[in-house]
């Protein structure tokens, strides 16, 4: 690994794009791990995370129900069945200090993604989506309620009035679909999917150490990095993809 800054990245900000969906628990974990890895990098201020839209279930109903109710309706069983199904991700979240509630809601996420696109235009996409997703997984918010989305937007410095305008219209729908089309062109079939500086890609929620290793490849450290974590699924992106 080089000990000198790569001329490809020297002195400039590096954009990290993460395709994500609100209700995806692995996206929730992966984003927090990526942020932790960035915070530990000596040049943390060089990195900019840009969240990209990817609906895992575009045909999901618009009327919210708890994730437990949705699971039992689709798969049968009772609350104990739901707990068993979510045991691994629940334990992982709590081991990393992240709340994880079975009372969180489930519904179509298209409108949330439309507001994310507006927030990205205002350079508040990460702050907005992180707040909504964190409260969502804590079971503290109905992210499908326009008023709650507007309040969350205001909390991170966005216009609540503008969010209500977006939600009452079809604005940013094309931007959501464009993100998804680009994701499919990159070969994305699930999320999270993270692209570093259009040079490296990682599929799935990786460990903090795996993310740190790719950050060091993207913006080399002035000292050698010793990787201490699990396997990385990093692959160079094909140059003809934009």
Question: Could you tell me if residue 91 is inside a domain?
Answer: yes
Residue 185's domain is classified under what CATH number?
A: 3.40.30.10
The mean pLDDT value for 207-212 works out to: 97
Computed over every residue of the chain, the mean pLDDT equals 88
Q: Is 141 left (phi over 0), alpha (psi -120 to 50) or beta?
A: beta
The whole-angstrom separation of Cα 70 and Cα 106 is: 7
Q: Is residue 241 part of a domain?
A: no
What predicted TM-score, i.e. pTM, was given to this entire model?
0.85
Cβ 104 vs Cβ 139: under 8 Å: yes
What pLDDT is stored for residue 141 in this prediction?
Answer: 97
Tokens of 176: 């959501």
The arithmetic mean of pLDDT across residues 107-127, rounded, is 99
Structural domains in the chain (count): 1
Lowest-confidence segment of 7-21, 41-55, 87-101, 180-194 by average pLDDT: 7-21
Cβ–Cβ < 8 Å for 14, 223: no
pLDDT of amino acid 221: 55
CB count within 10 Å of CB 100 equals: 19
Q: Write phi, then psi, for 217 (nearest 5 degrees).
A: -75, -35
Its domain, for residue 207, covers 14-236
* 2 in any annotated domain: no
Question: For 3-12, 69-78, 217-226, which range has the lowest pLDDT when averaged over its residues?
Answer: 3-12
Residue 88 is assigned to a structural domain of this protein: yes
Residue 242 lies in a domain: no
Beta-sheet strands, E only, within the chain: 14-20, 47-53, 65-66, 105-106, 193-196, 200-203, 235-236
Is residue 3 assigned to a domain?
A: no
Q: What pLDDT score was predicted for residue 82?
A: 87
The answer to whether residue 231 is domain-embedded is: yes
Instruction: Cite the DSSP H helix spans in 62-145.
Output: 67-75, 79-95, 110-121, 125-137
Residue 10, pLDDT score: 56
Can you give the pLDDT at residue 74? 82
Angle at 119 between CA 166 and CA 188, to 5 degrees: 100
Percentages helix, strand, coil for the chain, rounded to the nearest 5? 45, 10, 40
Does residue 86 lie in a domain region? yes
Averaged pLDDT for residues 126-138: 98
71 vs 81: CA distance, rounded Å: 9
Model confidence at 233: pLDDT above 90: no
Give the pLDDT mean for 162-184: 98
């Amino acid at each position: 690994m080089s000990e000198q800054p790569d001329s490809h990245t020297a002195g400039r900000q590096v954009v990290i794009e993460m395709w994500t969906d609100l209700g995806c628990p692995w996206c929730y974990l992966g984003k927090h791990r990526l942020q932790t890895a960035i915070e530990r990098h000596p040049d943390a201020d060089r990195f900019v995370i840009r969240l990209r839209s990817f609906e895992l279930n575009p045909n999901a109903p618009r009327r919210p129900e708890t994730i437990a109710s949705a699971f039992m309706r689709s798969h049968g069983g009772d609350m104990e069945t739901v707990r068993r199904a979510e045991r691994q991700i629940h334990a992982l979240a709590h081991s990393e200090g992240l709340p994880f509630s079975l009372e969180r809601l489930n519904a179509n996420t298209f409108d949330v993604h439309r507001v994310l696109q507006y927030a990205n235009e205002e350079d508040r996409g990460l702050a907005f989506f992180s707040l909504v997703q964190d409260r969502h997984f804590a079971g503290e918010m109905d992210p499908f309620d326009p008023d709650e989305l507007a309040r969350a937007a205001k909390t991170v410095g966005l216009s609540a009035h503008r969010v209500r305008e977006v939600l009452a219209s079809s604005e940013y729908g094309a931007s959501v679909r464009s993100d998804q089309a680009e994701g499919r062109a990159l070969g994305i079939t699930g999320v999270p999917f993270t692209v570093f500086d259009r040079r490296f890609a990682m599929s799935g929620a990786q460990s903090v150490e795996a993310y740190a290793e790719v950050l060091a490849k993207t913006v080399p450290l002035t000292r050698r990095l010793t990787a201490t974590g699990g396997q990385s699924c990093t692959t160079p992106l094909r140059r003809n993809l934009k």
